[in-house]
Structure 1
Amino acid sequence: MTAAERLVVVGGDAAGMSAASQARRLKKPDELAITAFERSHFTSYSACGIPYWVGGVVDGPDALIARTAEEHRARDIDLRMRTEVTEIDLDRGRVRTRELDDGGRESWTGFDKLVLATGARPLRPDLPGIDAPGVHGVQTLDDGRALLDALEQTAGRRAPLDTPGTSAGRRAVVVGAGYIGVEMAEALIRRGYEVTVLERSAQPMSTLDPDMGALVHEAMCGLGVETVTGTTVTGVLTDSAGRARAVTTEDADHPADVVVLGMGVRPETTLAAAAGLPLGESGGLLTDLAMRVRGQDAVWAGGDCVEVHDLVSGRTRHIALGTHANKHGQIIGTNVGGGYATFPGVVGTAVSKVCDLEIARTGLLERQAHAAGLRFVAVTVESTSRAGYYPGARPMHVKMLAERRTGRLLGVQIVGREGAGKRVDIAAVALTAGMTVEQMTALDLGYAPPFSPVWDPVLVAARKATAAVRAAGG
């Protein structure tokens, strides 16, 4: 009887366990033995839901878990929690592991096929006091629980949820105004904190062009979030007990009872780099269309630890999103299980919110288009989410980039209130299809006064971009 092949999965969240589950659907246990290692206390969870758990919008952590460790094990996946992979030995086909809750016991596990789904790590700059109690990254459910525990320490002065301005003196500083930063700012407002956001760039949301980021800045200040831009954090001051009490910048000290780091993430590829696997410009693993690591026959990688192909620029990019991770896992599991699947790439779609402000983008920013060597026009329009006469119509700004001469759509950014964010999906589909802005003007979108003006804001931008392309000539 032929021995079953051995699959080892490093990382037990979206990409890793999607790969393991899909491989199990295609291969029985006597054909493929699957062992997965996860160093945290949780598996198969939605990290995107952490800000909403912290803000009290959703329950957690159980509500954020798609499938428990016990459920995976019931499907014949040997999932080992609180076990960290410390070394990959490609020559001998094995990984070294350390049990985090059992005295650090180490052992080796052999593999015939290997999946790396090690995720990303929050940026934590090397600054005085950055590791002090009271300073929190927010990447895993363990991080979310630790932050909530810290917030509970002020329970005696707790203000009701959804009561901005009743902070009883509680102050929070969020370092970084990217997606995580603005979402955590909202969560802390809901918890009754006075919130200050510190951002090094000239405007919040560096995932937008500065002119669109300025709209976010204005709205955040209007929502009661003190947003300080163009400032560099120099350290964290601590009290006599060693806890964080303020965040220092070049210009001022910002008092804080809690500090949240929201400066983005980087691929967690320490193991991969030590094993000599190929990394891209951002430090993410490089794979082929089947999500197999380049130059390796039996190693796959997916999720936040990889770089992906950008369908608009033709380059590789690091984009940490659960949507991509789950797709990667499905593709990897299909290929490991003997099937065939590929991941063609992304257009860089993302959407977020802070209170009632919706922020979305897809495709390229101006600086990314310049870096790709593209010549383009850029237009911005202001419209409304509904017919102007219909109750509840709110302003919406749409920015659109199109390639000169061809008119090919290159990117769209949207900032507005209810109904703004998901409109970016129109542009995401157009980008994936390689449409021109002129072709977009003929899209047959749904219309009724409660949902849109006669000309949807995205189509208004497409009309203006078409005119700009014609005016620019070659």
Structure 2
Amino acid sequence: MDMSGAPGTGERLVVIGGDAAGMSAASQARRLRGPEELEIVAFERGHFTSYSACGIPYWVGGDVPERDLLVARTPEEHRARGIDLRLRTEVTDIDVAGGRVRARDVDSGAESWTSYDRLVIATGARPVRPGLPGMDAPGVHGVQTLDDGQALLDTLARARGRRAVVVGAGYIGVEMAEALINRGYEVTVVNRGREPMSTLDPDMGRLVHEAMRGMGITMVNDTEVTGLRTGGDGRVRAVVTRDAEYPADVVVLGIGVRPETSLAAAAGLPLGDHGGLLTDRAMRVRGHENIWAGGDCVEVLDLVSGQQRYMPLGTHANKHGQVIGANAGGGYATFPGVVGTAVSKVCDLEIARTGLREKDARRAGLRFVTVTVESTSRAGYYPGASPMTVKMLAEQRTGRLLGVQIVGREGAGKRVDVAAVALTAGLTVERMTALDLGYAPPFSPVWDPVLVAARKAAGAVEQQR
């Protein structure tokens, strides 16, 4: 039983989870306090630390040639910085009253308790896996960790056929559809929503649908999966819906993720409506002075709606880790919240959003106007100019920007960053029309597409007054 503290001080920081938030927190705390002041013990149940989960679809698809390129910092590098990192070790219990955690060696099964003075929970998220027949069959894969990605690649290497079905059409679903197309598979995406990418409004999701179909991906929308059929060897053979059956040599679950908070819930820590841990701006778990949480296991404040949201993204996780490490290491930092910015691609189609969708604005009780504009990525006469669709939401009375969605080809996705800054600053669409953005024909029309949308939105707001 490991109950000792750091030599000379008796202080120990325990971190549960060895990816973005957890190891960022550990590293930042170590920068502030040396090993003689603060012992840091980190538990990770997998084989890897500090890796880019967002890069897994590009590794599976072959754009990233090697798994190790996704690893930002190896276990050996963390240990060299004075962090006691224990791989293949899963924390199974948090004893809040006793200030200790119980961990189990995944390979040997041996268990031990470790005391803590300060605790960081960075347990991440788990892929949604419905309790339907066949969901646990060999050949069915969620994609959340590097171990998951390796398991999928192993299945692809053994698969006898070239038929893949992706269940779900969110970020992971469309990115994995592209990865499998790149691997030479015949890909069908089965989606319960009206259109792919439910993070967009359906009219913008329709643009993604059309582009995916043009890439040879079969899209099946408004369809509920009822189970998976397996063969005599137990391996998956097809995805079954109420109306049809889709043959599959491999199935990838892209239904989304949920916060992995079962450990926290069992310890009696506070969870929000979305199942994520609730923290204050210092990322401290509410009601617990010496426990912090960050990454995909927490809920965050939406700066636009003022409500708590669940937005599992690597950008947030790394920022959470920096804030937690500063506070757990004796400094001070805060995480103010998010505006909901995300960008993705499927083949050469770029998909971006920030702020609120129409249904988010309605849920927040906001009255709003919407506009949609068609523009181009460059001056229309400049070679390589490609079409781009921008949708913008603004509050009806005030003209405050509420959200932006962009779908287009090269040069479309990162334009959303202008809107993210405007949302964070609380700009009105009228103020946005005067933004001094860079212009040259190879980069933009003289009126950038985002500013064209802002002008049209400002006009729509004026008409409502």
- Post-superposition offset of 1:389: 1.1
The match for 1:135 among 132, 140, 165 is 140
- Post-superposition offset of 1:300: 0.2
1:5 paired with 2:11, answer: yes
Q: Tell me the distance in 2 between the aligned counterparts of 1:334 and 1:40.
A: 26
1:114 paired with 2:106, answer: no
Q: Tell me the distance in 2 between the aligned counterparts of 1:30 and 1:387.
A: 60
Partner secondary structure for residue 296 of structure 2 = helix
The C-alpha deviation readout for 1:405-432, integer Å capped at 9, x for no partner, is 1100000000001100000001000000
Q: Tell me the distance in 1 between the aligned counterparts of 2:450 and 2:9.
A: 57
Residue 4 (structure 2) aligns with: none
- Paired residue type of 1:172: A
The match for 1:20 among 23, 26, 31 is 26
- 1:401 and 1:409 in contact (8 A); partners too: yes
What does residue range 70-469 of structure 1 map to in structure 2 within 5 Å? 70-102=76-108, 104-154=109-159, 170-469=162-461
The C-alpha deviation readout for 1:126-181, integer Å capped at 9, x for no partner, is 00000000000000000000000011114xx7xxxxxxxxxxx6110000000000
Q: Tell me the distance in 2 between the aligned counterparts of 1:210 and 1:472.
A: 24
Q: Tell me the distance in 1 between the aligned counterparts of 2:172 and 2:10.
A: 43
What does residue range 1-80 of structure 1 map to in structure 2 within 5 Å? 2-80=8-86
Q: Tell me the distance in 2 between the aligned counterparts of 1:59 and 1:85.
A: 32
Residue 164 (structure 1) aligns with: none
Identity of aligned residues (%): 78
- Paired residue type of 1:122: P
Partner secondary structure for residue 415 of structure 1 = strand
Q: Tell me the distance in 2 between the aligned counterparts of 1:95 and 1:404.
A: 51
- 1:4 and 1:29 in contact (8 A); partners too: no
Partner secondary structure for residue 338 of structure 1 = coil
Q: Tell me the distance in 1 between the aligned counterparts of 2:204 and 2:122.
A: 34
Q: Tell me the distance in 1 between the aligned counterparts of 2:274 and 2:242.
A: 28
Please list every run of at least 4 consecutive aligned residues from structure 1 whose deviation after the TM superposition is greater than 4 angstroms: none
Partner secondary structure for residue 305 of structure 1 = coil
- Paired residue type of 2:25: A
When the two structures are superposed, what TM-score results if normalisation uses the length of structure 1? 0.96
Q: Tell me the distance in 2 between the aligned counterparts of 1:444 and 1:4.
A: 55
- Paired residue type of 1:454: V
Partner secondary structure for residue 234 of structure 2 = coil
Q: Tell me the distance in 2 between the aligned counterparts of 1:99 and 1:420.
A: 47
Q: Tell me the distance in 2 between the aligned counterparts of 1:429 and 1:233.
A: 39
- 1:246 and 1:257 in contact (8 A); partners too: yes
Q: Tell me the distance in 2 between the aligned counterparts of 1:93 and 1:23.
A: 19
Residue 3 (structure 2) aligns with: none
- Paired residue type of 1:7: L
- 1:4 and 1:30 in contact (8 A); partners too: no
The C-alpha deviation readout for 1:261-292, integer Å capped at 9, x for no partner, is 00110000001000111101100000000000
- Post-superposition offset of 1:4: 3.6
- Paired residue type of 1:59: P
- Post-superposition offset of 1:31: 0.8
Partner secondary structure for residue 304 of structure 1 = coil
Partner secondary structure for residue 165 of structure 2 = strand
Count residues with an aligned counterpart.
459
Partner secondary structure for residue 463 of structure 1 = helix
Partner secondary structure for residue 146 of structure 1 = helix
Q: CA RMSD in A?
A: 0.8
The C-alpha deviation readout for 1:61-96, integer Å capped at 9, x for no partner, is 211111111111111100000000000000000001
- Paired residue type of 2:35: P
- Post-superposition offset of 1:39: 0.1
The C-alpha deviation readout for 1:421-453, integer Å capped at 9, x for no partner, is 000001000000000000000011111111111
Q: Tell me the distance in 1 between the aligned counterparts of 2:279 and 2:393.
A: 29
Q: Tell me the distance in 2 between the aligned counterparts of 1:391 and 1:250.
A: 48
Q: Tell me the distance in 1 between the aligned counterparts of 2:364 and 2:268.
A: 28
Q: Tell me the distance in 1 between the aligned counterparts of 2:75 and 2:255.
A: 30
